[in-house]
Structure 1
Amino acid sequence: MKKLQQIFSVIIIITGLIFITTFSSCSDDSNELPDGVLKAKVDGVSFISIGDEVQATYIENYFNITAKETTTGKQIIMTLHATSDISTGTYDLTVLSFDEAYAGAFNINENNAFVSNAAGGSGELTLSKFDLENHLVSGTFHFIAVRAVDDNNNALDEPEIAEVTEGEFNNVILSTELGGPNNSNTLSATVDGTDFDFDVVNGFENLGVITITANISDASKNISLVIPNDTTTGTFELGNALASYKGTYNPDISNNQAIYAPGGLVGNNPGELNLTVVDLTNKHLEGTFSFTAERISEDVPDVTYEITNGSFSVDY
């Protein structure tokens, strides 16, 4: 999806400014955007992100590209969470359902982003290159993003709008492991009485939440947790996609519709998440969890899975 990094040093900022100046002076010579660059206009103002400030990931039909403008800290984020393989083509950035979510977002300071799949939003992302062999992605985009809450978490009388136009990115490096599994991350759980240690565990922050996703490669299982990025230590109800704290279990990661969540589609049987260590500065979480996973789609078997003894220690 990853939301949301520390501001770079003065040296990096100066380097970025030099690159931008060079890029602008060469724009008359070629219409092709340099590799690893994302540019757009936000409400008519130029936005440029370069180098390590542009990151793209694709894993399990989840695509995310996050671009940060070094000089301002502002971000453009686009996410595609599909039910099938993502490839070249055009995607509507207003989709929001239990099975799929496509969105564009504009973030000013990591709080309460403008999003395109809210009421009044619109937009499209066109992927012109999606090269999994060479790990490169290119495309164009535009969207109107909306928010109903300001930076201080106050409800707005009228929604605010950010219009992103003329968006383009070229040959951005595409990671297929969410930036690579962190070897220090751990997650284990008991599923229907069988103990599992998940061997690929990642954490990332995006659009106001921290997502923990854990796979067992040889058993094709996945457990994911979604936690607000302003959380504290304590015990919380773990629910489905409508809850603030979310949990899911997938017994077969080759089938993206095989998603089971606490309480299923209705969400009337929440699980429990106990956060024992919350270090938002150093981006580290530890905790335990348990829930009864029920189907959220009628297209998969109507069975339940008991997830118990869950524990994790994750950097994100």
Structure 2
Amino acid sequence: MKTTSYIYILLFTISLLSSNSCKQQEQKQSIRVSTNSLKAAVNGKSYNAIHVTGFISTIPNTLLLTGAMGTGEDIQLILPQEVTPGTYKFEDLLVQGKYQENEELAGFATRGSVTITTHDIGNKHIEGTFYFTTKPILQGNPSFDITEGNFKITY
């Protein structure tokens, strides 16, 4: 009986320590502050993304930049992995833009451009501006005008 009590106390202590350790780790992770930003105007309404990320996709070696609101609404820019500073038209299909209001309302850029002002591949940092008009993915849905776009992202 005494051995069983010690085992329960030991298990309880271990669970407390691991729980406390997880809480400390969560606190350390939540302190990390992102300086990434992606802003624009969507049909004239201000859009300041809450979750901004960038990553390199291995197939087909593209750089995907995303600015999301956390509600299903997002703006994405798809660029060549080693894109250099300059202006690129969406019509040329070298770059692509997408806006999604929700699961049903989304469209890809048919007109507009993205200007890369800085791309430091070594430090994985990119900055630029963009604007585009979308063509709806589903026929009958509205198009969107994305203007005054700018981003600063470390990926």
| Superposition TM-score, scaled by structure 2 size | 0.72
| Alpha-carbon distance, 1:238 to partner | 2.0
| Alpha-carbon distance, 1:243 to partner | 1.8
* Alignment correspondent of 2:13: none
Q: Distance in 1 between matches of 2:56 and 2:141?
A: 32
* Alignment correspondent of 1:278: 119
Asked whether 1:291 is paired with 2:138, we answer no
* Alignment correspondent of 1:199: 50
* Alignment correspondent of 1:243: 93
Asked whether 1:230 is paired with 2:77, we answer no
| Alpha-carbon distance, 1:204 to partner | 0.3
Q: Distance in 2 between matches of 1:302 and 1:279?
A: 38
* Alignment correspondent of 1:184: 35
Which of 307, 313, 316 is residue 146 of structure 2 equivalent to? 307
Q: Distance in 1 between matches of 2:100 and 2:86?
A: 26
* Contact 1:291/1:307 (<8 A) preserved: yes
Q: Distance in 2 between matches of 1:235 and 1:307?
A: 16
* 1:1-316 → structure 2 map (5 Å cutoff): 183-207=34-58, 208-217=61-70, 220-239=72-91, 243-252=93-102, 255=103, 258-263=105-110, 270-298=111-139, 301-316=140-155
| Alpha-carbon distance, 1:259 to partner | 2.5
Q: Which amino acid aligns with 1:224?
A: Q
* Contact 2:105/2:142 (<8 A) preserved: no
Q: Which amino acid aligns with 2:127?
A: E
SS class of match (1:277): strand
| Alpha-carbon distance, 1:226 to partner | 0.5
RMSD: 1.9
* Contact 2:88/2:94 (<8 A) preserved: no
Which segments of 5 or more consecutive residues in structure 2 lack a partner in the other structure? 1-31
The 3 A distance-change label for structure 1 pair 182 and 236 is: farther
Q: After TM superposition, where is structure 1 displaced by more than 3 Å over at least 4 residues in a row?
A: none
The 3 A distance-change label for structure 1 pair 201 and 182 is: farther
Q: Which amino acid aligns with 2:76?
A: S
Which segments of 5 or more consecutive residues in structure 1 lack a partner in the other structure? 1-180, 264-269
Identity of aligned residues (%): 29
Q: Distance in 1 between matches of 2:150 and 2:66?
A: 13
Q: Distance in 2 between matches of 1:243 and 1:214?
A: 21
C-alpha distance after superposition, 1:75-126 (max 9, x if no partner): xxxxxxxxxxxxxxxxxxxxxxxxxxxxxxxxxxxxxxxxxxxxxxxxxxxx
C-alpha distance after superposition, 1:33-57 (max 9, x if no partner): xxxxxxxxxxxxxxxxxxxxxxxxx
Count, aligned residues: 122
Larger radius of gyration: 2
| Alpha-carbon distance, 1:290 to partner | 0.2
SS class of match (1:304): coil
Q: Distance in 2 between matches of 1:211 and 1:272?
A: 16
Indicate the structure whose relative CO is greater, using CA pairs within 8 Å and at least 6 residues apart.
Answer: 2
Q: Is the helix fraction higher in 1 or 2?
A: 2
| Alpha-carbon distance, 1:182 to partner | 6.6
